Structures are given as C-alpha cells and as structure tokens.
Amino acid sequence: MLLEELVEYFGSIGERRFRAEQVFRWLHGGARAFGEMTNLPSALRENLETEFQISAPALAKKQESRLDGTIKYLWGVQGGAVESVVMEYGHGNTVCISTQVGCRMGCAFCASAIGGLVRNLAASEMLDQVWHSQLDSGKRLSNVVLMGIGEPLDNYENVLRFLRLVTHPLGMNIGARHITVSTCGLVEKIDKLADCDIQFTLTASLHAPDDETRSRLMPINRDGGVDGLLDACARYFARTGRRVSYEYAMIDGVNDTDRHAGLLAGKLRGSGSHVNLIPLSDVPERPLRGSGPERVSVFCELLREKGVNCTVRRSLGRDITASCGQLRRREL
Ligand code: SAH
C-alpha cells in the first residue's frame, strides 16, 4: 500500500496519520510480522494481524558466480517463479528485478518469452525482490534495474506503484535517478510515462536499426517500427528532459554487421543518445548466438566514428545462467 492509502485506512479505523507512518517505516524497514512493531498499541497490532498479510517470497534457489560475485535468486511466487540478480559495480550494488511471471512480448532471443505470460507481479512482489535480495546478500543495494523477467510497461500501473514505494523517503528511499526501467518499446506507454513525475531512467531494447531485422527478432516492432519507437523516445526526451538510452544485444550474423552499424549511426546521430552493446547470452532453446568480442569492439568503434556514444557492457554471471529468464527456464 502507498503511504496515502495507509493513512486513509488508519483514518477509517479512527487512528491518526502518524500510525500510518510508523507502520510504513516498519514494513519498509524489513518487519516480517505486525508483532514486531513495538511502538504500536497491542490492540492495534492484533487488529492489523487479522486484517492484513505481510508477504514474503520463497527462496527457491540461489547461485553465486565465482567469477564476479554476481548472485542470482529464483523466488517461488504464485503461478511460478521469478528471478532477481545482484551485481557489483564501481558505483554501487545493483539489483535487477522481474516485473511479470513470464512475458508475452515473444522476442526471438529471450528465455523469458518461452511459455508466454502467466501473470503480472504486484508492486509488493517487486518490492519483495529488492528487499529480500538485500537481506539475503547482505549487500546494500543502491540501484535498481527493471530488466528481469517480463515487460515493465506491460504491467504499467503496478510498476509505477512499485517506483513510488521504492523511492519513498520513509521507505527504502532509493533515488529515482538510480532506477532504470527497460522496455522492448511499447510506444503508447512511453508517451504515457512522459507525464509521470518520477525521474527514473528509461532505456529501450532496440537490437536492430531496420524494420526487417527488428521485426524478425521482436514482434512488438510491427507496431510502428523502429522509427515509431525512436520518435516516441524523442518525444519522451522533449517532454521530460531525460534522454532514453538503447540496449543492443549483438547477435552473430543477424544484427552485428558493418551495414547494421552504419544504419544505426544514421538513425541515432545527433540525438545525443547512448547505446549499450552486449553480446547476446546463449539460450539453449534458441538458435541465435552472441557475437564474438572482436566483432563487438569493431561495431562499437564504427558507431563512435560516426558520432554515436557507445559502451560495451561486461557480461556478469556467465557461469550462473544470469541473463533474463535463463535460470527460471532451466528449473522449469
Ligand atoms: N522487457 C524489457 C525488460 C526485460 S529484458 C525489455 O525488453 O527491455 C532486459 C534486457 O535483456 C532487454 O534489453 C532484452 O532484450 C535483453 N535480453 C533478453 N534476452 C537476452 C539474451 N539472451 N542475451 C542478451 N540480452 C538479452
């Protein structure tokens, strides 16, 4: 519940605002039962105990990378399982969380798409992933990325509710600027997001500069194509002053040729946008393979020469099937 909703509830049972704030602080500080909330009168604690439930995900599996300390969690939730990943970066620890059980976007390279969408996660289930990843790993998490299983903008209302909760000053208080939402490109929702008052970072999974290649990889491209997505991102920047960055998973022989680099530079030149390149992680069920390191750096150089900002991302957790949906897939 949002703080305002708690305030309303407490008002309805004749309690004052500060009680709602106390409960909010406890919940976001990791209380697992109302009985722990020692500054509440015991009658109120008992009442809350019967009216509400504090959820917690069941840890189904945990894997730690020996290469780089990356930790992957598989959480059992109603209807299946979702993954979260904790990664260590110079700028702090980041947790990558899931937003749906499964996904209905159908991207050809993605393990999460296999089996389709089961259901949307509630905001509390996204918060649980952040909170329990921090609790279990013992690492203070300063950054959150919505790049796990699912399409965040396909679960728009719950994702926004989650963002309001995780950034709340009385809660985990994670700075909005330390949160990244990744989308495969739901154009209408990007336009809707432009009116949202939270300052998080938006990134779009582009993966190809031309409709022929992108439609092959991502069915969503049939709604408006590459230009439709880039236009929406430009409108988003114009409205919010925040630039959208692009993810580009490099796939051997599919989207990684010099011709693709040229087309991409042609589309992005002058936009000030940043491209993150990462070789595709192999998904056994998929026939596509990641580009070699040599190809990735040549592609990056070509983009830079043509005036496009570009970074090659390190692949973390290679030894623990850490990419989107892989662990869940294997466990299924
Ligand atoms: N649905 C959202 C967020 C989840 S996926 C989106 O599409 O952006 C997070 C990122 O991982 C996306 O850029 C997605 O395209 C990418 N991805 C999916 N499968 C991958 C794989 N096998 N290798 C590398 N990146 C992958």
pLDDT at 238: 94
Give the model's confidence band at 314: pLDDT under 50 very low, under 70 low, under 90 confident, else very high: confident
Give 286 Cα–ligand 1 centroid separation in angstroms: 14
Q: How confident is the model at residue 276 (pLDDT cuts 50, 70, 90)?
A: very high
**172-201 mean pLDDT:** 94
Kindly report the number of other CB atoms within 10 A of residue 184's CB atom. 25
The pLDDT of 232-239, averaged and rounded, is 96
Type of residue at 274: H
Token pair for 194? 């432009």
Angle at 197 between CA 155 and CA 140, to 5 degrees: 75
Q: What is the pTM of this model?
A: 0.94
Q: Over range 271-297, report the average pLDDT.
A: 92
Is 316 a pocket residue for ligand 1 (Cβ < 6 Å)?
Answer: no
Residues in the chain: 332
Residue from 329, 290, 272 nearest 207 by CA: 290
Residue nearest atom 8 of ligand 1, based on CA coordinates: 183
Task: Please tell me the predicted confidence (pLDDT) of residue 325.
Answer: 66
- Running DSSP on this structure, what letter comes out for residue 172? T
> Comparing 116 with 197, which gets the higher pLDDT?
116
% of the chain exceeding 70 in pLDDT: 96
CA distance 323 to 273: 24
Per-residue pLDDT at 106: 97
Task: Output the CA 252–ligand 1 centroid distance in Å.
Answer: 16
The mean pLDDT of the chain is: 93
**Rounded mean pLDDT of 155-170?**
97
Among 129, 193, 205, 254, the mutation site with the greatest number of ligand 1 atoms within 8 A of its Cβ is: 205
**Distance from residue 202's CA to the centre of ligand 1 (Å):** 14
Amino acid at 101: V
CA separation for the pair 224, 222 (Å, rounded): 6
CA 69 – CA 78 distance, rounded (Å): 29
Nearest atom in ligand 1 to 105's CA? 1
Burial category of 76 from C-beta neighbours within 10 Å (exposed 0-12, middle 13-18, buried 19 and up): middle
Cα–Cα distance for residue pair 149/151, rounded to 1 Å:
7
Ligand 1 pocket, 221 CB below 6 A? no
When comparing pLDDT for 74 and 30, which is higher? 74
* Element holding 256 (H helix, E strand): none
CB 183 less than 6 A from any atom of ligand 1: yes
Q: Rounded distance, CA 260 to CA 248, Å?
A: 11
For the segment 61-89, the average pLDDT, to the nearest whole number, is 93
Of 234, 202, 207, which is closest to residue 220 (Cα–Cα)?
207
- Per-residue model confidence (pLDDT) at position 71: 96
Statement: residue 326 has pLDDT above 70? no
Nearest residue CA, atom 18 of ligand 1? 110
Across 166-179, average pLDDT: 95
Residue 182 Cβ contacting ligand 1 at under 6 Å: yes
Cβ-based neighbours of 256, under 8 Å, separated by 6 or more = 250, 291, 295, 296, 299
**What is the band of 324 on the pLDDT scale with cuts at 50, 70, 90?**
low
